[in-house]
C-alpha cells in the first residue's frame, strides 16, 4: 500500500472515531476541531510510518509547507477539509506543488483529502481546466478524495 493511501486510511479511522466530524461547525469550533484532527493525524502517521512526513517546507525559499510529502511516491497530500466550499485553498495548494517541482522536488501527484462534497465542487469546468493544465504543462496529476461519513444512519 502506498503511504499516501495509508494516510487516507488513518484519516478515515480518525473521522470514524469522531461522531460530529462531518457536521459544519463554522469558525472557532470548526477551526479547533480541524486543528485537533490534524494533530492526531500527524501523530498517528508518524507512528505508522516511523518517520515524519508532515508539514514539509519543499516550496523553495518560501516558508510555505505542504501537509504531507512522501518523497518515495513523489506525492503530496493536502488535507483540505473545506475543499467542498466554493472558496477553498484548491488553487493555492496546486501552486505549492508546482513551486516544489520548480525547487527541484520530485512531485508527480497531488492528492486532496476532504469531506464529502469536494469531488462535486471540483468536477466543475474551472477546476477541471486547472487540473488539466497542471497535468499537461507540469506533469502533475491531481486527485480529489473524500472521507466517508460512516456516521450517517442507513435507511431500513
Query: What is residue 153's predicted lDDT score, i.e. its pLDDT?
Result: 63
Number of domains in the chain: 1
**Which contiguous run of DSSP H or E holds residue 89?**
none
For residue 154, being part of any structural domain is answered with no
| Cβ–Cβ < 8 Å for 84, 113 | no
State pTM to two decimals.
Answer: 0.92
For residue 155, being part of any structural domain is answered with no
For residue 75, being part of any structural domain is answered with yes
For 92-136, how does the pLDDT look when each residue is reduced to its tens digit (9 = 90+)? 999 999 999 999 999 999 999 999 999 999 999 999 999 999 999
- Written as tens digits, the pLDDT of the chain (156 aa) is 799 999 999 999 999 999 999 988 888 888 899 999 999 999 999 999 999 999 999 999 999 999 999 999 999 999 999 998 877 899 999 999 999 999 999 999 999 999 999 999 999 999 999 999 999 999 999 999 999 999 876 555
> And the C-alpha cell for 71?
518523497
For residue 11, being part of any structural domain is answered with yes
For residue 156, being part of any structural domain is answered with no
Residue entry with cell 469531488: 119
**Could you list the residue range(s) of the whole structural domain that residue 52 is in?**
3-146
Nearest to 123 by CA among 134, 115, 131, 114: 131
For residue 153, being part of any structural domain is answered with no
Amino acid at each position: 500500500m502506498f503511504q499516501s493511501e495509508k494516510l487516507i486510511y488513518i484519516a478515515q479511522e480518525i473521522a470514524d472515531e469522531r461522531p460530529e466530524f462531518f457536521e459544519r461547525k463554522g469558525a472557532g469550533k470548526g477551526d479547533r476541531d480541524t486543528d485537533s484532527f490534524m494533530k492526531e493525524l500527524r501523530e498517528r502517521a508518524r507512528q505508522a510510518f516511523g518517520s515524519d512526513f508532515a508539514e514539509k517546507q519543499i516550496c523553495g525559499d518560501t516558508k510555505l509547507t505542504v501537509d504531507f510529502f512522501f518523497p518515495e511516491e513523489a506525492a503530496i497530500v493536502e488535507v483540505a477539509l473545506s475543499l467542498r466550499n466554493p472558496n477553498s485553498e484548491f488553487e493555492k495548494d496546486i501552486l505549492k506543488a508546482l513551486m516544489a517541482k520548480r525547487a527541484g522536488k520530485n512531485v508527480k501527484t497531488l492528492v486532496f483529502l476532504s469531506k464529502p462534497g469536494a469531488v462535486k465542487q471540483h468536477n466543475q469546468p474551472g477546476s477541471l481546466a486547472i487540473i488539466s493544465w497542471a497535468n499537461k504543462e507540469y506533469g502533475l496529476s491531481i486527485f480529489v478524495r473524500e472521507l466517508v461519513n460512516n456516521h450517517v444512519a442507513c435507511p431500513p
